[in-house]
Structure 1
Amino acid sequence: MLQFNINYFGLTILLFFTEVLIALFVHDAFIRPYIGDVLVVILMYCFCKSFANLPVLPVALFVLSVAFLIEILQGFNIVAKIGLEKSKLANVVLGNSFSWIDFLTYIVGFLIIIAMENRLAKKVR
């Protein structure tokens, strides 16, 4: 079950730096709010698959559930409730603004994961 996968880890690093670059340098109304949210689901998936040799669907569903949970917590203003509203890190990691459209972006990320993993599985066969 626990097994390091260099390929997923490499993708994790690449996606992480992409997210950092988006956060630092992209201040638009499309890439940062939407593409960034799509990529964060893929980033979390790749991170999980870097260390756990588990089937695609359970990991993808777990990551989607975590993304949904974080978005719901944003709706309850969790960062302020736990006293971390002045923490830049907490605001970046947990977020501080709820949006219904984010659920759709997370689902798009989930679907990209499933599609890419299915494509890779067919290529291997």
Structure 2
Amino acid sequence: MKARLPYIIGFVLLTAVEVCIGVFYFSHFIRSYLGDVIIVWVLYCLFRSFVPKRFSSYGIAVGILVFSFAVEFLQKAHIADILGVENKLLRIIIGTSYATEDLWCYVAGTAVTILEIWLFKRLFPHKDT
């Protein structure tokens, strides 16, 4: 549990940042782009909080990228409408609009995550991310 605590804290803090971005309109750039970069970090921290160490950190990061792409393409297919989701909060969570820029933001978020993993493994070779 001690090893997972930083990821739990990271998840809570980054989720709070995402909520603030969603509730308070900072700027178009922050809401449209930075929020999509940060969501990759949120998901990484969430997965690392529950997934055992034996799973590759890099594999988890790439898996989150694939998941993010899948969600974005489901948005392009109007999955919320297909499923008949009417709850406003749930529609926000699922997403209702596709944007190619979002895919690039997910790639950027994954790249930063992979860089962080690589740096951590070099600085602390005895620990696992």
Work out whether the TM-score is over 0.5: yes
TM tier relative to shorter chain: over 0.9
1:91 and 2:122 correspond: no
User: 2:22 corresponds to which residue?
Assistant: 23
> In the alignment, residue 6 of structure 2 is paired with which amino acid?
N
Q: Alignment partner of 1:30: what SS?
A: helix
Between the aligned partners of 1:106 and 1:20, the Cα distance in structure 2 is: 18
User: 1:62 corresponds to which residue?
Assistant: 63
C-alpha displacement of 1:28: 2.3
Q: CA RMSD in A?
A: 1.6
User: 2:10 corresponds to which residue?
Assistant: 11
Between the aligned partners of 1:118 and 1:25, the Cα distance in structure 2 is: 34
Unpaired segments ≥5 residues, structure 2: none
Preserved CA contact (<8 Å) 2:4 2:48: yes
Between the aligned partners of 1:91 and 1:55, the Cα distance in structure 2 is: 32
What is the TM-score normalised by the length of structure 2?
0.90
Q: How does 1:27-106 map to 2 (within 5 A)?
A: 27-52=26-51, 53=53, 54-84=55-85, 86-106=86-106
> In the alignment, residue 35 of structure 1 is paired with which amino acid?
L
Between the aligned partners of 2:95 and 2:27, the Cα distance in structure 1 is: 17
C-alpha displacement of 1:95: 0.5
C-alpha displacement of 1:27: 4.9
Preserved CA contact (<8 Å) 2:58 2:117: no
> Percent identity among equivalent residues?
29
Unpaired segments ≥5 residues, structure 1: none
Paired residue total: 123
Report runs of 4+ in structure 1 exceeding 3 Å deviation: none
Deviates more, 1:86-95 or 1:37-46: 86-95
1:118 and 2:118 correspond: yes
What is the TM-score normalised by the length of structure 1?
0.92
Between the aligned partners of 1:111 and 1:79, the Cα distance in structure 2 is: 29
Deviates more, 1:49-58 or 1:66-75: 49-58
